[in-house]
Amino acid sequence: MIRVLIERHIAETLETAYELRARKVLQQAVSTPGFISGETLVDSNDPNHRITLANWRSELDWTRWYHSDERKELMTELIPMMDQDEIITILKQSPMP
């Protein structure tokens, strides 16, 4: 299993519109093979900073979703609402010593 950390910063006044469209992205991801679970958090010091932590079966499953036409199409609605590029970090469990 891997975890994918997605950070996005929303432009001022677009929070509600962003939330509606971000929900669509998550709903589509949930039905994608390899998706396990996910949650979105709000930075307590910056309400426009959103962090999504998603669990995927494998990096290959995540990569398929990331490059899918469905995600690309959904992101065309989200990207204009962000005032910074999204930052994606793929995390895996560290090997035990």
Question: Where exactly are the structural domains of the chain?
Answer: 2-92
Beta bridge partners of 37: 55
Ranges of the chain with pLDDT below 50: none
pLDDT for 34 equals 98
pLDDT for 96 equals 73
pLDDT for 94 equals 84
Decide: 27 and 21 in contact? Cβ < 8 Å: no
* Vertex 11 angle, CA 9 and 16, to 5°: 95
* Vertex 91 angle, CA 52 and 97, to 5°: 145
The domain defined by 2-92 carries CATH number 3.30.70.100 = yes
